[in-house]
């Protein structure tokens, strides 16, 4: 079929919850994607920060194929080898003690919220606890995750949502303090806000939230679904801040394309759940956990974190040059290979024009161009991106 026919068939049968761009992707290799017509696109989106090691990575593909031939699914009524091995890797990497594997980031958020509520229930014997979340945050689209997503645009059609959610201002510690009540059981925030516009947490803010949680026996939940797994130059973004959450959620690059997420907790909070409190049929299946194991192996053997730190400096410098060059680009912000440019032109139009020029970038919020490429990008890839992006931006002068 032609790309036009694929799109027409997709519009006929797929639920219209996305305004998809007018390309039909067929295959990928390294940092390149190709549509059904054979056109190449330089990918600086990585499936929304998922494909850390790029497309068609032979070692990753071979690991997945080998597991397919062994065992794909068993349910959680039994142990399986990849799940046990992956659990050890996740706990050692996060510095936490107990992990629950999910099928997505949203499910990881749901589990983290339940865990915090169960911890407080065990402590107090009541079930009317409250959670503090951040304005302009994004944690997912299920009812629970949506309830702690600080954006009325996403929430309004689906109210009433989960009760007992209070919103504070990100990077404003006094705002957080003002929301704490005797019922507060958890504070949830992204270490680097993603969909809200690529805002890293200020060190004093994150340290202050950690201190508040310690003082009030509040569960600190960090959402690292997008900013974790090496994207900022550390395995977890919170490592740079010298603090540790009680619970962290991860997904996206955790499986590098195989759907898998996790929430990970310290011993004190993690032990709050007992058999029957939470479950999943597919979460932690052998195929997904084989992917997790291979991802961690690749992190260990490629020294990718050093590469990210070095490459990020070059990307930041190049993006800063665009702030100086174009009056409609007002700022750059971000960490590592999670960067954003604030623009005053329609961000959707810029993204569409870039795609036409063979560059895949995405937006964040209403006015930010988001750059979350595969972690394996080189300086040459950044130079190519700059050439394609400059061609795009020049058309908006």
**pLDDT tens track for 254-304:** 999 999 999 999 999 999 999 999 999 999 999 999 999 999 999 999 999
Query: Structurally, how many domains does the chain consist of?
Result: 2
In a domain, 64, yes or no: no
Question: What integer pLDDT is reported at residue 373 of this predicted model?
Answer: 98
As a whole-number percent, the residues of the chain with pLDDT over 70 amount to 100
Domain containing residue 119: 71-302
Query: Rounded mean pLDDT of 231-235?
Result: 98
∠ CA 158-189-98, nearest 5°, is 105
Residue 6 pLDDT > 90, yes or no? yes
Q: Tell me how far apart the alpha carbons of residues 119 and 339 are, in angstroms, rounded to a whole number.
A: 36
In a domain, 235, yes or no: yes
Residue 236 pLDDT > 90, yes or no? yes
155 shares a domain with 47: no
Check which CATH number belongs to the domain holding 324 and give it: 3.90.1150.10
42 shares a domain with 10: yes
Residue 395 pLDDT > 90, yes or no? yes
240 shares a domain with 362: no
Query: Rounded mean pLDDT of 237-257?
Result: 98
145 shares a domain with 242: yes
Would you give the distance in Å from CA 154 to the centre of its chain?
18
Query: What pairing do the DSSP bridges indicate for beta strands 261-265 and 362-364?
Result: unpaired
172 shares a domain with 320: no
Predicted TM-score of the model (pTM) = 0.97
Question: Closest Cα partner for 18 from 50, 56, 48?
Answer: 48
pLDDT tens digits for 105-149?
999 999 999 999 999 999 999 999 999 999 999 999 999 999 999
The per-residue pLDDT of the chain, averaged, comes to 97
Query: Rounded mean pLDDT of 238-253?
Result: 98
In a domain, 66, yes or no: no
273 shares a domain with 195: yes
Residue 397 pLDDT > 90, yes or no? no
333 shares a domain with 263: no
Token representation of residue 71: 């065992």
In a domain, 266, yes or no: yes
């Amino acid at each position: 079929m032609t790309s036009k026919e694929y799109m027409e068939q997709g519009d006929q049968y797929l639920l219209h919850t996305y305004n998809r761009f007018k390309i039909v992707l067929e295959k990928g290799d390294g940092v390149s994607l190709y549509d059904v017509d054979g056109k190449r696109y330089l990918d600086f989106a990585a499936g929304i920060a998922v494909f850390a090691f790029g497309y068609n990575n032979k070692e990753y593909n071979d690991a997945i194929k080998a597991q397919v031939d062994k065992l794909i699914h068993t349910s959680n009524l039994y142990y399986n080898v990849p799940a046990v091995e992956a659990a050890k890797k996740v706990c050692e990497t996060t510095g936490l003690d107990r992990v629950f594997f999910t099928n997505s980031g949203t499910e990881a958020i749901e589990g983290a919220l339940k865990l915090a509520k169960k911890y407080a229930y065990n402590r107090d014997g009541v079930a009317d606890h409250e959670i503090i979340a951040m304005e302009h945050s994004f944690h997912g689209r299920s009812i629970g995750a949506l309830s702690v997503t600080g954006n009325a645009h996403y929430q309004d059609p689906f109210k009433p949502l989960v009760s007992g959610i209070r919103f504070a201002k990100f990077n404003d510690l006094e705002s957080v303090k003002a929301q704490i009540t005797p019922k507060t059981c958890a504070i949830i925030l992204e270490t680097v806000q993603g969909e809200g516009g690529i805002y890293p947490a200020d060190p004093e803010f994150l340290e202050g939230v950690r201190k508040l949680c310690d003082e009030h026996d509040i569960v600190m939940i960090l959402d690292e679904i997008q900013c974790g797994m090496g994207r900022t130059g550390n395995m977890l973004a919170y490592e740079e801040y010298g603090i540790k959450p009680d619970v962290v959620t991860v997904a996206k690059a955790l499986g590098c394309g195989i759907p898998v997420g996790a929430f990970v907790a310290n011993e004190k909070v993690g032990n709050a759940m007992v058999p029957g409190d939470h479950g999943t049929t597919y979460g932690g299946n052998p195929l997904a956990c084989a992917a997790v194991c291979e991802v961690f192996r690749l992190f260990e053997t490629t020294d990718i974190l050093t590469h990210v730190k070095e490459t990020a400096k070059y990307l930041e410098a190049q993006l800063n040059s665009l702030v100086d060059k174009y009056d409609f680009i007002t700022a750059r912000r971000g960490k590592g290979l999670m960067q954003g440019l604030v623009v005053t032109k329609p961000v959707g139009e810029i993204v569409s024009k870039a795609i036409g020029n063979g560059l895949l970038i995405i937006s964040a919020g209403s006015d930010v161009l988001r750059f979350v490429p595969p972690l394996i990008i080189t300086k040459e890839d950044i130079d190519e991106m700059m050439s394609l992006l400059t061609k795009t931006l020049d058309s908006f002068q």
